[in-house]
A and B are shown apart, each in its own frame.
Chain A
Amino acid sequence: MHAVCSVRAVENALGIEIPLNAVIMRNLIEAAQYIQDHPVHFYHLHALDWVDIVSALSADPAATSDLAQSISDWPKSSTDYFAAVQAKVKAFVETGQLGPFANAYWGHPAYKLPPEANLMAVAHYLEALDWQRDIIRIHAVLGSKNPHLQTYLVGGMALAVDPNSPAVLNIERISLLTKLFTKGLEFVKQVYIPDLLAVASFYKEWASLGTGHGNYLAYGDFPLGVGDPTTHPELLYLPRGIILNKDLSTVHPVDQSKIAEYVTHSWYEYAGGDGTSLHPWEGETRPKYTGPQPPYKFLNTGEGDKYSWLKSPRYEDQPMEVGPLARMLVAYASPDAPGHASVKEKVDAVLAHLDVGPEALFSTLGRTAARGIETWVIAEAALEWLDQLTANLKTGDLRVHSGELWDPSKWPAQAQGFGMTEAPRGALGHWVQIEDGHIKHYQCVVPSTWNAGPRDGNGQRGPYEAALIGTPVADPEQPLEILRTVHSFDPCMACAAHIVDAEGQEIVSIKIQ
């Protein structure tokens, strides 16, 4: 995602338009990222906050089969299948080496699923592991390898296309892509969405917990035609916009000049003083660690304390939540956007199934549901984009790169630009300044910084901190409930979040996965 954002920033600075084939290939790669990454988050990084593996051992496989068949046509749903999964899990537990599942919160009172739902989810945890490995081959076909694709170029893409050549993206490879995208959509529709609805129906109280500020920012993404997506938001399938204070009646436009970052509580210093904020083009990144010397037990998070390596990005001085929920809310409330109809149809279907209103979206559960809805929307759209690519190749257009400005000696002496994308975890922006063919200044403002950043110069909390206020915790030593909300944002880091009680005493520190 950083790769596409960085080339967009330079393309924006130099005024380069990339060919349609490259536009579509970028969309397909990003779509595959969502289709693979969101289910991995749900099954492998978030599900165990809701699913008790140990409880699955006491499930009745026949009842599990009934449950699975009542919610989906997915073929792997026989009594024998679930009995075999259960036997495998049992054999694993009996080895006594629980590996990554040791010391977890099994049996915690906040787990609400019946044993059969737990067994079904464990089976799909294992199935999803195999499925994601196959789906992500889309990235190898279009971008050489995953992780860390090597294909993005300023001006286009490095994968040549030619229906009649053996060494490039040809008809054989396009049919492989069709097969993989179809397999992706099937799993999303028949496994991920039904599981999401089944789990959510047992945890409806989480539809009113974990809200936070109620401000949402989406840069939008997936341009449907040729043109600089950062300056032509009307091209975007998922639209750009801002929703303030949970008010879905108005979508505000995004003006990148209103973005600025504070370091008041971050371990950095600004030449102009730490109470000020700076736009990314003026941004400074000078570390200034003031925390305790390790090893330490606690960080101080008081008024004058710095306590994070993250800065605090703000839009017009307001904290903003970014991510699938922000994207789905902005699309839901933007009737003119190309993706609006598909988003609205699916959001309404999910709300109706759970028998809740749109206000339920502003929550921990809403965040997790929006991620699933978005996967469904994008998995459907990706098959259309693949058709769009084939149709364009049929016209004889084999261009993948605009090379007029490939040689830096042709660049103006000075240029500046910004690139905007929507990473799976949310709005991602890169700001670049170029001088004499070199990068003079570069700043990234990334999704987890928007969501997880500390308090700003005005004392306002970031989205994580705000969302955690009021979370009930049954057992402070086993803060499963905290994990639910933090994980619902899909954090992109391994670090420690420190939860402080009313007296300023740290009650527990949590490793964010």
Chain B
Amino acid sequence: MPNEAGGLRETLAQRGVSRRDFLKFCSAMTAVLALPPRYMPRVVEALETATRPPLLWLEYQDCAGNTESLLRASKPTVAELILDVLSLDYHETVMAPAGHQAEKSLMDTVEAYKGQYLVVVEGSIPTKDGGIYCTIGGHTALDLVQEIGGNAAAIITVGTCAAYGGIPAAAPNPTDAVGVRDVVKGVPIINLPGCPMNVQNLTAVIVHYLTFGAWPATDQLGRPLFAYGSRIHDDCERRAHFDAGQFVEEWGDEGHRKGWCLYKMGCKGPETFHNCPIVRWNDGTSWPVGAGHGCVGCSEPAFWDTMSPFYRRLPSVPGFGVEATADKVGLGIVAGVAGAFALHGVASAVRAKARPLNKTKVEVEEE
């Protein structure tokens, strides 16, 4: 049974976490969620009284990269997350029991908390040939995600594979892999794409849910606006160099050593929506552009097909080519979010024509 008596605050106090640290955590979360500071008391209050919702973490066609990302959680830490905030009742990689006993943990929660538990899905779902390309305990991923996910309070997909099919769905998609939204209906689904997802965004989604009893607002791809509402390019620390026409021309050249813009080295920041430049990675230590490598657009649907070759600069659609003067490029790209969506559509459509169409690409074209 959940701990009805005490909320997170009380449990944390038992674990020796000071009120000061707790408030620091709440204010960090308020900031990640892009909420005005006046919301902070609400975050504090909600977390002080929340019980631990059961969470089932399901892995299908995945590389465990999002699980690794979970282990990097710092606000709160993974130990706090799984001991104090949530009840992580099933997670193949980290749970202690195995085999039948592990399946028992899963089914106990599905039966006891029907409609109340949360599900996280990592990895895509293969649908070809009756789903035989991924089975667990003799059941297909397709059956499992529909049954377990279909009875959840909500599903959070972590990583681009669970959100949109990701790398397993890349052309020629040999197993007809899809994302969770394609096969589970009638349950709220929040997508946290990325390769992998940034755990700080997962934590923030859960805190949002515990605070407001509702899921954060999302874009048409199911991504929370607080994390995917602005373009990498608009928040990038190298943007001034882009606007000034200062580009890295070769790896290790003077511009590279001075931290200039990576557009000519293939950066996909102008087509990618994610908060990497703001929250960064590994406790704010760095992020791809910060460490000298362009963005590869990993949080966009079908990025493996539409964003590659990763080192070729974005195609020269009018106003966006580096052949144009830097001023024109800058002006063209700051046309705004709507413009960026259009650009994305154009680029995807152009590339989709050059390759055999598959399901995922058609979807991108429609968007």
Contact = CB atoms under 8 A, between A and B. Distances in A.
Given A45-B93, A494-B59, A144 B287 contact: yes
A84 B13 CA distance: 12
A144 B98 contact: no
B139 A102 contact: no
Given A88-B14, A92-B83, A144 B290 contact: yes
B292 A159 contact: yes
Interface string A467-504: 00000000001110001000000000011100000000
Contacts, number: 234
Contacts of A155: 251
A133 B195 contact: no
B286 A140 contact: yes
A186 interface: no
A158 B105 contact: no
A400 B291 CA distance: 13
Interface stretch (B41-49, B71-79, B204-212, B352-360): B71-79
Contacts of B257: 160-162, 165, 167-168, 398
Interface in B264-303: 280-283, 285-288, 290-293, 296, 298
Contact of B258 (A99, A165, A406): A165
Contacts of B313: none
B264 to A, nearest CB: 12
B366 interface: no
A158 B292 contact: yes
B138 A294 contact: yes
B153 to A, nearest CB: 16
Contacts of B99: 479, 496, 508-511
Interface in B115-166: 129-133, 135-140, 143
A204 interface: no
Contacts of A477: 100
B98 A513 contact: yes
A4 B148 CA distance: 38
Interface string B220-246: 000000000000000000000000000
B82 A99 contact: yes
Contacts of B282: 133, 136-137, 139-140, 145-146
A307 B2 CA distance: 41
Contacts of B2: 95, 97
A424 to B, nearest CB: 12
A176 B81 CA distance: 27
B91 A100 contact: yes
B130 A293 contact: yes
A403 B251 contact: yes
A100 B88 contact: yes
Contacts of B16: 84, 88
Contacts of B87: 97, 99
Given A129-B71, A400-B252, A511-B102, A141 B138 contact: no
Query: Which residue among B98, B130, B290 has the maximum number of chain A CB atoms within 10 Å of its CB?
Result: B98
A289 B132 contact: yes
Contacts of B105: 102-103
B89 interface: yes
Contacts of A139: 282
B104 interface: yes
Interface in B247-261: 250-252, 256-259
A256 interface: no
B338 interface: no
B92 A294 contact: no
B296 A150 contact: yes
Given A99-B83, A157-B251, 8 more contacts: A100-B91, A103-B102, A126-B79, A148-B196, A295-B143, A496-B99, A496-B137, A511-B137
22 contacts: A48-B96, A88-B83, A99-B86, A100-B94, A100-B95, A105-B96, A129-B77, A130-B79, A136-B72, A142-B291, A144-B286, A144-B287, A144-B288, A144-B290, A145-B287, A147-B69, A148-B195, A151-B291, A161-B257, A294-B138, A294-B140, A398-B257
Interface of B: 1-3, 11, 14-16, 52, 54, 59, 64-65, 68-69, 71-74, 77-79, 82-83, 86-105, 108, 129-133, 135-140, 143, 174, 195-196, 250-252, 256-259, 280-283, 285-288, 290-293, 296, 298, 311
Interface of A: 40, 44-45, 48, 53, 84, 87-88, 91-92, 95-97, 99-105, 126, 129-130, 132-134, 136-137, 139-148, 150-151, 153, 155-162, 165-168, 287, 289, 291-298, 398-401, 403, 406, 477-479, 483, 494-496, 508-513
